[in-house]
Structure 1
Amino acid sequence: MAAHRRTRKRTSGTARTVLTVALAGAAAATGFDGPALADPRRTPEQVRADVARLYREAEAATEQYNGAKEKAEAARHRLRGLQDETARRRARLNEAREALGSVAAAQYRGGGLDPALRLALSEDPDGYLRGAALAERVGSLQNARVGQVRTQLGEIERLRGAARVETESLTSRRAELERHRKTITGKLNAARRLLSGLPAERRDTGQASRPSGNAGDGPAAPVTARAPGPRAAEAVAYAYGKIGSPYVWGATGPDAFDCSGLVQAAYRSAGVSLPRTTYGQIDAGRRVARSELLPGDLVFFYSGISHVGIYVGDGRMIHAPNPSAPVRLASLDEMPFAGATRVS
């Protein structure tokens, strides 16, 4: 009996060991924070590299979220328009039905004698013939109104079908939004957990050589003077005025921004409407080479075109980096350059 108890104790200890190893392996397998948290020997530079990767992945998901949100809003707008048009068609259908009902009631009240017999019995044949011609015209009007009702019914059915399509599209976009939202929040939460293990002064995930940039770095006037046009100059001035604003994914201002939100807001202030996403913005103007950049040009980074900033000259841009840093001046060299666009 004692031997049996000893065997159970050893088995329990083995199970705990296996469980501990399994949990450690699961932590190491997770794509968010496993490696950094499981291995205490990782250097701050390695942790920061993981955080930077998570931020890049979150930003790519943010642009997908922004695109899905833009499409959802367009679907919502189209659905609202279809609903309004359906209501107008219904009002016209009701009017046509009322008119048709009035004609039918009048014919019913007029009786059903054979026209030839009514002509023979009439004390005023000429008057009856005039009335018969009017009745024929009324019949033609009735046929026209029946046609109107049929047309209205067909249009309403077509609108209902279009509204069903838009409703399905909107439902799909909302599900897509939720998927991207979960991806973004998961990666950002993982990045925050990793950063919390570093000293405060080591939590900026950018390169050490990056210009920190703030509103006191100098006036925007010398830069805007070199812009290719007044709209670009206004966009640059707006961006300078937002240095120090926090990064918030999905935000388009006026007090917080993500990267494409800052660009969109800057050009909106200049009267230019840009797409919401980086991969839409890169096609919103004329492509320019890096050697031809002028203040106000949009500069894009990474192979997936997942980040954008506003060029301000001297190899620098203003951009919204990630949640660990506010809107700031930065070197173009801190990220892999993917292309540039000049907005006219």
Structure 2
Amino acid sequence: AAHADPKPTKDEVKSKVDKLYDEAEQATEAANGAKEKQGRLEKQIGQIQDQVARGQQELNTLRQGLGSLASAQYRSGGIDPSLALFLSSNPDDFLDKASSLDQLSATQAEALTKIQGKQRTLAQQRKEAQDKLKDLADTSKVLDDKKKEVQGKLGDAQKLLNSLTAQEKAALASDESRANRSTERPNLGKDVPAS
């Protein structure tokens, strides 16, 4: 034979409802904190993505400059410098060009170093953005969980209140109104106390 649970008393219902409302309030506060964190993360992600876009544009510009230098060297041919000096009709002109080529090579090496540094920076920024996106997804999940928890607690409280009879609900409401009146402070007026 099945036994029915005894119907809770008005005081038990009130204490359970109060407890559920307190838990719902705590869950709401946690949800608000998660929402604030979500906003901060979205802002940080936007800033990082802007930095990555600007960095990628700079990297592309560096690559184009390096590519044009490499193609110019390729077109000039890969003749050994000593042979080119020997075959040159004007050695002074050749030495000037060789000095310029040496400076171009140094410029190319510097450009390569910049490209490598920019690639490392972009990779780090992309990883940071991915980490923030993961954190954002986790925060969104926490926010959804807290919202569900709040709704569940409030639903449970409503079910408990619905289990009361009309007479018990009226008695509970009058008890709460008396409690609210007793916590109100009396108005003492705007008179300044005598010195």
TM-score (norm 2): 0.82
Gap change, CA 1:204 and 1:152, over 3 Å in 2: farther
Aligned partner of 2:153 among 187, 198, 202: 187
1:81 aligns with 2:47: yes
Judge conservation of contact 1:61–1:183 (CA < 8 Å) in 2: yes
- Aligned counterpart, 1:39: 6
Q: After superposition, give the CA deviation of every residue in 1:235-270 in whole Å (9 maximum; x if it has no partner).
A: xxxxxxxxxxxxxxxxxxxxxxxxxxxxxxxxxxxx
Gap change, CA 1:134 and 1:105, over 3 Å in 2: same
Q: Aligned partners of 1:114, 1:47: CA distance in 2, in Å?
A: 97
Q: Structure 2 stretches of 5 or more lacking a match? A: 191-195
Gap change, CA 1:205 and 1:144, over 3 Å in 2: farther
Q: After superposition, give the CA deviation of every residue in 1:176-227 in whole Å (9 maximum; x if it has no partner).
A: 1122122111000111222234546545884623149xxxxx9xxx7xxxxx
Query: Percent of aligned pairs with the same residue?
Result: 33
Q: Please state which structure has a larger fraction of its residues in strand.
A: 1
SS at match of 1:76: helix
Q: After superposition, give the CA deviation of every residue in 1:85-124 in whole Å (9 maximum; x if it has no partner).
A: 1111111111111111010000001111111111121112
Aligned residues: 182
1:1-344 matches, cutoff 5 A: 17=1, 20-21=2-3, 24=4, 38-40=5-7, 42-198=8-164, 199=166, 201=170, 202-203=172-173, 206=176, 208-211=178-181
Q: Please state which structure has a larger fraction of its residues in helix.
A: 2
Structure 1 residue runs of 4 or more that deviate by more than 4 Å after TM superposition: 203-207
Q: Aligned partners of 1:132, 1:205: CA distance in 2, in Å?
A: 99
Judge conservation of contact 1:195–1:203 (CA < 8 Å) in 2: no
Gap change, CA 1:103 and 1:138, over 3 Å in 2: same
Q: After superposition, give the CA deviation of every residue in 1:267-299 in whole Å (9 maximum; x if it has no partner).
A: xxxxxxxxxxxxxxxxxxxxxxxxxxxxxxxxx
Gap change, CA 1:89 and 1:211, over 3 Å in 2: farther
Q: After superposition, give the CA deviation of every residue in 1:317-338 in whole Å (9 maximum; x if it has no partner).
A: xxxxxxxxxxxxxxxxxxxxxx
